């Protein structure tokens, strides 16, 4: 049975990817420092798949602990690297925290992979590397703009670190640039669990609908878009997780066409904030309390993907639509409210 290491595997996208990997017959080991997730996610994964993944609480910025982990766990066939801080706003307030964590985690990981002859990595990147795109939809050939936040900059630098390492070693890598992952597993046993006040739109919507937040602030309706609010390419986290299984399969079966491949992962559709709110009200039956306020610094007005390359090369296409994304988020919000009362 092929063994895959998932760093950040108790996090939102990581946990959904663990489920899909286990259901495809992979043995999974999770390492996570639990800075933005809880160990109970391991049990939730086991409840969904019937298989409890190995879990080790490790901080990848601790090079000794990381090396010791690889000493102990041999025969790892590939790594999917999710572990990173990802709050755009927080990264502006505390850039060093982001550079230290996101860069040293990757550097320590790559050092250990090299030492232990582990040559396959799938990296969790983001459409944030494109900044405000010159043209839409965005393809992988679009220019990488100066990052709008230290978070986005760490994603760009990590892509460069992997690119340069691939050139001078036997590392084979796939960079996956996510657009906006939302939604939750249909079991409602795993989902997005932001600690504190959510930065992202969907958890803020569901927390407002359930009464945890009093009102949703819509950051600006004076953008050059059909209804004035920002457009984003939302994709279901389960569709996204499935893409990771295809990507790691591709590397393990040596089907990749070059040592470094890059794929956009989105649906190709852009929805505005107001369209998302309207769709949420439709699928949940809840009237959402919101108000239009000032723009949020760093927001791009619109971005959505051209994921032709992933369709063609990976045979991957997002299957779940906005209704299913939002109804699964709502089901998850109701579940966590029942269990955390």
List residues binding ligand WQD (CB under 6 A). 86, 88, 126, 128, 178, 180, 199-201, 204, 216-219, 230, 232, 273, 296, 299
Q: Is 178 a catalytic residue?
A: no
CA distance 217 to 205: 9
Number of neighbours of residue 133 by Cβ within 10 angstroms: 18
User: Which residues, at least 6 apart from 93, have a Cβ–Cβ distance to it below 8 Å?
Assistant: none
Q: How far is the CB of 237 from ligand WQD (least distance, A)?
A: 11
Nearer to ligand WQD by C-beta: 122 or 201?
Answer: 201
Nearer to ligand WQD by C-beta: 78 or 131?
Answer: 131
Nearer to ligand WQD by C-beta: 187 or 199?
Answer: 199
CA distance 42 to 34: 11
Strand 271-272 relative to strand 120-126: parallel, antiparallel, unpaired? unpaired
Q: How far is the CB of 295 from ligand WQD (least distance, A)?
A: 7
Q: How far is the CB of 167 from ligand WQD (least distance, A)?
A: 26
Q: Which residues pair with 292 in a beta bridge?
A: 218
Q: How far is the CB of 328 from ligand WQD (least distance, A)?
A: 16
- CA-based max dimension of the chain: 56
CA distance 132 to 148: 9
Between the two ends of the chain, the Cα-to-Cα distance in Å is: 40
Q: How far is the CB of 20 from ligand WQD (least distance, A)?
A: 18
Q: Which residues pair with 265 in a beta bridge?
A: 178
Q: Give the phi and the psi of residue 109 in degrees, each rounded to 5.
A: -65, -45
Q: From 315, 265, 267, 308, select the one nearest 122 (Cα to Cα).
A: 265
Nearer to ligand WQD by C-beta: 154 or 172?
Answer: 154
Instruction: Report CA 7 to chain centroid distance, whole Å.
Output: 12
Nearer to ligand WQD by C-beta: 108 or 149?
Answer: 149
Q: Which residue is nearest to ligand WQD (CB)?
A: 230
Q: How far is the CB of 316 from ligand WQD (least distance, A)?
A: 18
3-state secondary structure of 258: coil
54 by Cβ neighbours in 10 Å (0-12 / 13-18 / 19+) ranks as middle
Nearer to ligand WQD by C-beta: 103 or 252?
Answer: 103
Q: How far is the CB of 271 from ligand WQD (least distance, A)?
A: 10
Question: Of 98, 151, 204, 234, which one is the catalytic site residue?
Answer: 151
Nearer to ligand WQD by C-beta: 283 or 300?
Answer: 300
H-helix segments, the chain: 12-23, 40-49, 63-72, 88-93, 95-115, 150-167, 201-209, 237-252, 273-284, 308-309, 322-339
Q: What residues are labeled active site?
A: 151
């Amino acid at each position: 049975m092929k063994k895959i290491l998932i760093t950040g595997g108790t996090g939102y996208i990581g946990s959904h990817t663990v489920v899909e990997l286990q259901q495809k017959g992979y043995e999974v080991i999770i390492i996570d420092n639990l800075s933005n997730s809880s160990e109970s996610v391991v049990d939730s994964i086991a409840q969904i798949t019937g298989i409890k993944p190995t879990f080790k609480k490790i901080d990848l910025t601790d090079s000794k602990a990381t090396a010791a982990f690889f000493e102990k766990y041999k025969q790892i066939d590939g790594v999917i690297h999710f572990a990173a801080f990802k709050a755009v706003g927080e990264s502006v307030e505390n850039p060093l925290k982001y550079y230290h964590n996101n860069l040293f985690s990757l550097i320590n990981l790559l050092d250990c992979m090299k030492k232990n002859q582990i040559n396959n990595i799938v990296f969790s990147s983001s459409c944030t590397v494109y900044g405000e795109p010159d043209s839409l939809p965005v393809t992988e050939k679009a220019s990488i703009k100066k990052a709008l936040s230290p978070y986005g900059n760490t994603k760009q630098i990590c892509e460069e670190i992997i690119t340069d390492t691939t050139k001078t070693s036997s590392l084979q890598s796939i960079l996956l640039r996510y657009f906006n992952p939302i939604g939750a597993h249909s079991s409602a046993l795993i989902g997005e669990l932001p600690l504190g006040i959510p930065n992202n739109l969907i958890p803020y919507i569901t927390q407002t609908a359930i009464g945890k937040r009093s009102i949703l602030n819509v950051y600006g309706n004076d953008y050059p878009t059909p209804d004035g609010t920002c457009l984003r390419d939302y994709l279901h986290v389960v569709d996204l997780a499935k893409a990771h299984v295809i990507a790691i399969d591709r590397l393990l079966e040596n089907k990749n066409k070059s040592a470094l491949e890059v794929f956009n992962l989105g649906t190709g559709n852009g929805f505005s904030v107001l369209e998302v709110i309207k769709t949420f009200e439709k699928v949940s039956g809840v009237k959402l309390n919101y108000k239009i306020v000032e723009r949020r610094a760093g927001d791009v007005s619109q971005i959505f993907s051209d994921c032709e390359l992933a369709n063609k090369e990976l045979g991957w296409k997002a299957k779940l639509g906005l209704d299913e994304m939002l109804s699964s988020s709502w089901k998850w919000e109701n579940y966590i409210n029942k269990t955390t009362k």
